[in-house]
Amino acid sequence: MELFVLVGCFVFLLIMGFPIAFNMILSSSMYLLVGGYPQLLVAQRMFEGMNGFSLLAVPFFVMTGQFMLKGHLLEALIDFVNAFIGHVKGALALVTIGTCLFMGSIVGLALAEVASLGSFLIPMMKKEKYTPAFSSAVMASASLLGPIMPPSVLMIIYCVSVGRTSIAGLFLAAIIPAFLIALAQMFTVYRIAVKRGYPNHERAPWPEKWKQFRRALPALFLPIIILGGIFGSIFTVTESSAIAAVYAFIITFVVYREGKLSDIPEILKETALTSGLVILLAGSATVTAWAIANEQVVYKVIGPLSNLPQWSFLLLINILLLINGMFMDDYASVVVLGPIIAPVAWKLGV
């Protein structure tokens, strides 16, 4: 009965258009009310969900992205990628994917990439006669490299929610898939560009490539600092996020000399809003995850799925996540579904 109330309230509020964080809080509150549990559990579980030490890395990584977006980073990265692959058919679309890949190693948020790159590259693609639908599709799909390419805020949330995994291990495991996805997207875009006759640019000479590489080098060095420090056991993920924020500040205000002191309040405001939203989602989803665990949903799921082949389980989970992604935010999905799916995956050796 209580589980039915939880799911029913969640679906109803989802249809009504409630923000997902408040949806989970209200649904969980109704679950506690019907089940006779004290409402104080909502506050307690939310605090536990937001009190993880690893979550300190979230505002620092967000701040790093905000600092870099205020500087010359976008133009430098776009020119750098364009110098190397701009001569291929569908150049601007390919540059969008390549830039998103590099931006993902700095920002780590899909929304940040769409907001920054989309406003810059989509008008450029429109000017070169790309269709609006194709331009938007390329930008939307390429921005998904942000949460995959480390450092990823989403992976930090996953580790805090599920446990039994290290953030550094997830970062390391995500590098190759991120590049493979980017290559697959580039291949698809290239085939469509050839078919539709989208333009390309002149091949850049090596002196121009070297010039753009040197110009983008300070920004390209940031992922090396972050990932090299983590994988080299020089500092933790949280420490690396703070170092990255300081480095990004120096790059923006000293190297590129694009930032102004008057930009700092706006940067701090955007950092607080973005990281606050992510951490609120983590906290509210923890309440829902507790309710699901209290109903022993994991044990009910493990039984029917324990004998499935690994490939069948992975296919089933991908279909579930595809449908779930139509309604729920990625952070909420990770916190709510992660504790359910992960134990089943471990049981099957996935």
Question: Per-residue pLDDT for 10 more than 70?
Answer: yes
Sign for the CA dihedral angle at 124, 126, 129, 131 comes to positive
Q: Which value, in Å, is the radius of gyration of the alpha carbons in the chain?
A: 22
pLDDT of the residue at 116? 65
Q: How many CA atoms within 13 Å lie on the side-chain side of 300?
A: 7
pLDDT digits (tens, 9 = 90+) for 310-337: 888 888 888 888 888 887 777 778 877 8
Question: Per-residue pLDDT for 308 more than 90?
Answer: no
Can you spell out the DSSP letters for 39-92? THHHHHHHHHHH--GGGGHHHHHHHHHHHHHHTTHHHHHHHHHHHHHTTSTTHH
Give the mean pLDDT of 58-86: 81
Confidence of residue 199 (pLDDT cuts 50, 70, 90): confident
pLDDT of the residue at 227? 81
pLDDT of the residue at 350? 76
pLDDT digits (tens, 9 = 90+) for 286-302: 888 888 888 877 777 77
pLDDT of the residue at 340? 80
DSSP letter assigned to residue 263:
G
Give the mean pLDDT of 267-278: 86
pLDDT digits (tens, 9 = 90+) for 13-51: 888 878 888 888 898 898 888 888 888 888 888 888 888
Higher pLDDT, 206 or 304: 206
Say how far apart CA 339 and CA 281 lie, in whole Å: 15
pLDDT of the residue at 181? 92
pLDDT of the residue at 188? 92
Instruction: Give first-to-last CA distance, the chain, whole Å.
Output: 33
Say how far apart CA 202 and CA 90 lie, in whole Å: 12
Say how far apart CA 252 and CA 176 lie, in whole Å: 29
In three state form, how does the secondary structure of 91-150 look?
HHHHHHHHHHHHHHCCCCCHHHHHHHHHHHHHHHHHHCCCCHHHHHHHHHHHHCHHHHCC
Give the mean pLDDT of 262-276: 86
pLDDT of the residue at 183? 93
- Boundaries of every domain in the chain: 54-274, 296-350
pLDDT digits (tens, 9 = 90+) for 223-256: 888 888 888 888 888 888 889 889 888 888 887 7
Give the mean pLDDT of 98-125: 72
The rounded mean pLDDT for the chain is 83
Cβ proximity of 200 and 95 under 8 Å: no
Three-class SS state of 158? helix
pLDDT of the residue at 187? 93
Angle between helices 167-196 and 91-104 (to 10 degrees): 170
Three-class SS state of 289? helix
pLDDT of the residue at 112? 59
pLDDT of the residue at 71? 63
